[in-house]
Amino acid sequence: MLVDEVEMGGRYNLYKDLFAGYCTKCWIKNCKHQDEFRFEGFDLIALQKNKVWFIQVKTNTPPLRKNYISFAKKYATRYINVLAMTWYDRKGWVFHRFTKSGTVNRKDLRT
């Protein structure tokens, strides 16, 4: 896989992650419910032979599942995957893969 960090630079850019700041209700960047339904976005993008992975990485606290389930329901396909990776200090990784059907596949690699 080819993996790259996605961070929007700029002095006045409020949201630094990919797709961050979008409203999870209507998936528009500037709407009337943006403050209460704001999407956190993705930290990494990974390219595989015929797949694209959007990845959010967190430490000790997993991201809000509801927003990523909503994103996956709308945009995930056979070729587009949504993954949240949470690192727990001195324990290890927990992966959450969000599918088009709204299910979450959890893989716990903590020791």
Report the 10 Å Cβ neighbour count for 41.
Answer: 21
Query: In terms of residues, how long is the chain?
Result: 111
- Residue-wise pLDDT tens for the chain (111 aa)? 889 888 776 666 667 788 887 888 878 888 887 777 888 889 999 999 999 999 999 999 998 899 999 999 999 999 999 999 999 999 999 999 999 999 999 999 998
Say which amino acid occupies 87: W
Structure tokens belonging to residue 29? 């960047």
- Report whether 89 contacts 59 (CB < 8 A): yes
DSSP code at position 61: S
Instruction: Kindly report the pTM of this predicted structure.
Output: 0.85
SS3 of residue 4 by DSSP: strand
